[in-house]
Structure 1
Amino acid sequence: MISYAYVPMSFKTIIATVFFLTMITGICACIFVGKKQGRCKQILLLSCTSIIAAMLCLYASVIPAERAKSNIPAISLWFAQQPVIFPLLAWFAIAVFLVMVIAEEYTRRRSTITVSSIKESLDQLETGLCFSYPNGMLMLTNHRMNKLSHAIFGIPLQNANLFWDALVSRQPVDGVVRIASGEHPEFCLPDGSIRTFHREELDGILQITAADTTQQHHLMEELQIKHRDLEEMNARIRRYGDKVDEYVIARERLETRINLHSFLGHALLMTRHHLQYKSGDTQKIIDIWQRNIDVLRLEAEPQQETDSISSLKNAAAAIGMQVHVSDRIPANAPIRKLIASTGAEMLTNAVRHAGAKQLCIDTEETDAEYIIRYTNDGTAPDTPIAEGGGLSTARRKIEAAGGRMEIQSAPRFMLTIIFEKGGMMGV
């Protein structure tokens, strides 16, 4: 087996360096770990460190042998002639022992609550903490509170009472905005975060906390905005409520005027038909005019039949016209009423402008829509139809109910109403 004396110089240097580092580790373990591991391990640590130190000294004294052999102690020369494997095995055993001792101490510190572990835990908190005696002398602070003191006032935290007085009344540095004073001082920091401070006494110990209330402030701002929106909405609802009665009265008056216009138009058509063709019941025509006069005098209400489609057919028959209605017309009463009111306008226009004798109302139902078409057998218009009072009124009613109206002039007149199923309003 090769001895240390015949090992190359580079390996000798490596061995000496490893022994030196192991000796330093052993010394540190003796100082910082030995007392906490018990007397037995403390003695073992001292012994192992001494052995490593002795081997280091013996090997180091042999390195300059080529230059001054006469100055080398005899024991060093003897040690250098021994197989190098034995000191290396001893070093390996000592190194393993040191690693085990250090690992055991690390595990013990991780599982044992100590002053340093408490301090480390407090330093990990996002909340700033400061504990002090009643005179303001600091007992314990974490890193977060120290950073806040620097960020808000630009000075370190040295006295808790002075720090609290500064939180209550002192002007912060530029970039920091004071939000509140008093018992709960609040500050907005340059990064946009908001800190709320609170002080209380716990068994003679003063505690100052600095909580991050950024999210709470944002939520409060959102609630205030929503509250303002609700107040504006309530104001609009109150204004609307104040005008509801006026709106209802105005709408009833408009409906009365529209119905009256329709009844007067119907009476005029009946009178015209009677004068031209000498047909119809004269007394019935006189009664209709008398009732219209009573309505104008506000002595009666416009007379309406229960079925709007039947009313349309009766009105057409009174002026010598026929109304053909599709069998597929919806049974819904409001829809039938809207179809009939539009049909009454089509009836009047067909007689006055086209000389028609028949009005056809055809209804088509698809999966998504109701389609109602109005046609007549009168003369086709020469020019595009311009919407007047009657057609404009019909369009407003249809669009208010969620439908749309289309007018076709060529090759013959046709008015189309389209309602989407589920999209009808007020119908």
Structure 2
Amino acid sequence: MTYADLSLLERRLLMLWVAGLVFIYVFNTARSLQLKRGFLYSFHTAAVVAAFYYIYNILGRIDEAVLDGRESVYIIPISWLLAALCFFTAYSLYLILAVNRWKKNNISGLSIKESFDSLPTALCFFLQSGVPRMTNKEMEKIVHELCGEELSDAGRFWLSLKYGERDGCIIAGNDPIYQLPDGRIFSFSLREMTVEKNKIYELIGNNITEEYRLNEELKEKSTEARWINERLRTLNKSITRITAEREVLAAKIKIHNEFGNLLLYSKSYLAGKADIDRKKLLTMWHNNNRLFEEAGPEIWQSTYSSAVEDAERLGVKVITDGQLPENALLKDILETAIKVQVNNTLRHAHGHTVYASYSMEGDKYVIVFENDGDAPKEEIREGGGIGNLRRMVEQTGGSLVLSHEPRFSMRLEIPVEPE
């Protein structure tokens, strides 16, 4: 039985089988060339492809002759054809398995590219001219999200990142940080290397989303910890002040009791009681008078006394308008403000008097500092003193406003209930 004796459907199925084998061998040939398995192997598979293509043409001619009622010059026993097709089908499967096994056990350019694309780090190698030589999929995705186009000039792309020209820039510079539209955060860096006397640049993008989030949380907690620390220091000062007040109160009670005893003793003496010792009475009066002579306002009792005394020693008088608040937290701020204003009066304004006026506006303390010196001739630059004062005020939720017209002044607005 020959091929020509088969039915039309059977001939079509056999031709489809041959066409499938041609496709499989073409695929194997292409993979061999891509993986660079060697010339002989690629030539061998290509020869099989050519042979099957020739067989396919022969079967087509026999089929045409049968359909036209002509006798074909090609007489192919069906048993030979089936045996050949079965053999080459099995051989094609063997070649596919051999290629896969070779791919697993050998490193090729394709395997390097696949590994390069699977890296979570965004990478791009480019020449000094900016032409990309190898870019993985992660970098291509980032470029598309930031630029909306394909990467054609990697050097220009790096400069745009470095100088913060792209949307989502968090930090510019040599190690720029960007937030992508999908919320991920990447840190970029550039590394230069020399390969075969040619300069190659490696652009690296690392996903630091989690690290950045943890760093922001740490900053928030550090700020909160500093605020708690300030409150604890203020509380410690309050405890010290309260302790001093208790000691003074105890001393006052003692003086009050002694003075009461003195009055009772004096009354008994004036009443003419014989058991009253005149010398003892005089000694008691002398001791009490000495207490009153030595008594005066304690330094701790005088609000902002330290800053005021320091100013007077420097030749600057501090005049207040209104009763400055005794709040322990505000005391540190106002003492700092007095020192800053005194320093400005001496060094820049060449004045001799500092004025501090206090008032309440709603739920805020408002304290305005001025001096009698010269007005600034240019815009005020905040140095260490004013900068530190501003931080102290803003930590309470307040504000500090500087003005140089008609003369230098500082306006502090501090909430009654700090944040």
TM-score tier, shorter chain, comes to 0.5 to 0.7
Structure 2 partner of 1:235: 230
Structure 2 partner of 1:101: 95
Give, in whole Å, the separation in 1 of the partners of 2:53 and 2:109: 34
Contact 1:55 1:87 in 2 (8 A): no
Structure 1 partner of 2:145: 151
* Change beyond 3 A, Cα 1:244–1:104: same
For residues 182-201 of structure 1, what are the alpha-carbon distances to aligned partners after superposition, in whole Å with 9 as ceiling and x for unaligned? 11111111111111111121
For residues 20-66 of structure 1, what are the alpha-carbon distances to aligned partners after superposition, in whole Å with 9 as ceiling and x for unaligned? 12123324434552795556655653554344334323332233445
Structure 2 partner of 1:130: 124
Give, in whole Å, the separation in 2 of the partners of 1:253 and 1:46: 108
Give, in whole Å, the separation in 2 of the partners of 1:184 and 1:136: 19
Contact 2:122 2:205 in 1 (8 A): yes
For residues 221-240 of structure 1, what are the alpha-carbon distances to aligned partners after superposition, in whole Å with 9 as ceiling and x for unaligned? 11111111211221221122
- Are positions 1:208 and 2:203 aligned together? yes
Contact 2:4 2:66 in 1 (8 A): no
Shift of 1:218: 0.6
Structure 2 partner of 1:62: 62
* Unmatched 5+ stretches in structure 2: 251-419
Give, in whole Å, the separation in 1 of the partners of 2:203 and 2:134: 11
Contact 2:126 2:154 in 1 (8 A): yes
Structure 2 partner of 1:162: 156
Structure 1 partner of 2:358: none
Contact 2:125 2:202 in 1 (8 A): yes
Shift of 1:116: 2.2
Give, in whole Å, the separation in 2 of the partners of 1:42 and 1:164: 42
For residues 375-416 of structure 1, what are the alpha-carbon distances to aligned partners after superposition, in whole Å with 9 as ceiling and x for unaligned? xxxxxxxxxxxxxxxxxxxxxxxxxxxxxxxxxxxxxxxxxx
Structure 1 partner of 2:171: 180
Contact 1:33 1:102 in 2 (8 A): no
Contact 2:32 2:41 in 1 (8 A): no
Give, in whole Å, the separation in 2 of the partners of 1:202 and 1:99: 45
Letter in 1 for 2:122: G
Give, in whole Å, the separation in 1 of the partners of 2:249 and 2:11: 114
The alignment's TM-score, normalised by the length of structure 1, stands at 0.51
Shift of 1:170: 5.5
Give, in whole Å, the separation in 2 of the partners of 1:27 and 1:38: 16
Give, in whole Å, the separation in 2 of the partners of 1:182 and 1:18: 63
Structure 2 partner of 1:220: 215
* Change beyond 3 A, Cα 1:61–1:132: same
The alignment's TM-score, normalised by the length of structure 2, stands at 0.52
Classify the secondary structure of the residue corresponding to 1:74: coil
* Change beyond 3 A, Cα 1:95–1:66: closer
Give, in whole Å, the separation in 1 of the partners of 2:150 and 2:50: 46
For residues 126-164 of structure 1, what are the alpha-carbon distances to aligned partners after superposition, in whole Å with 9 as ceiling and x for unaligned? 221111222323221112212212211223211222111
Give, in whole Å, the separation in 2 of the partners of 1:134 and 1:195: 24
Q: How do residues 404-415 of structure 1 correspond to structure 2 at under 5 angstroms?
A: none
Q: How many residues align?
A: 245
Shift of 1:19: 0.5
Classify the secondary structure of the residue corresponding to 1:33: helix
* Change beyond 3 A, Cα 1:97–1:37: farther
> Which of residues 165, 182, 187 in structure 2 aligns to 1:171?
165
For residues 269-299 of structure 1, what are the alpha-carbon distances to aligned partners after superposition, in whole Å with 9 as ceiling and x for unaligned? xxxxxxxxxxxxxxxxxxxxxxxxxxxxxxx
Letter in 1 for 2:97: A
Structure 2 partner of 1:14: 13
* Change beyond 3 A, Cα 1:170–1:244: closer
Contact 1:52 1:91 in 2 (8 A): no
> Which of residues 98, 108, 112 in structure 1 aligns to 2:106?
112
* Unmatched 5+ stretches in structure 1: 256-427
Give, in whole Å, the separation in 1 of the partners of 2:62 and 2:31: 33
Contact 1:130 1:141 in 2 (8 A): yes
Structure 1 partner of 2:417: none
Letter in 1 for 2:12: T
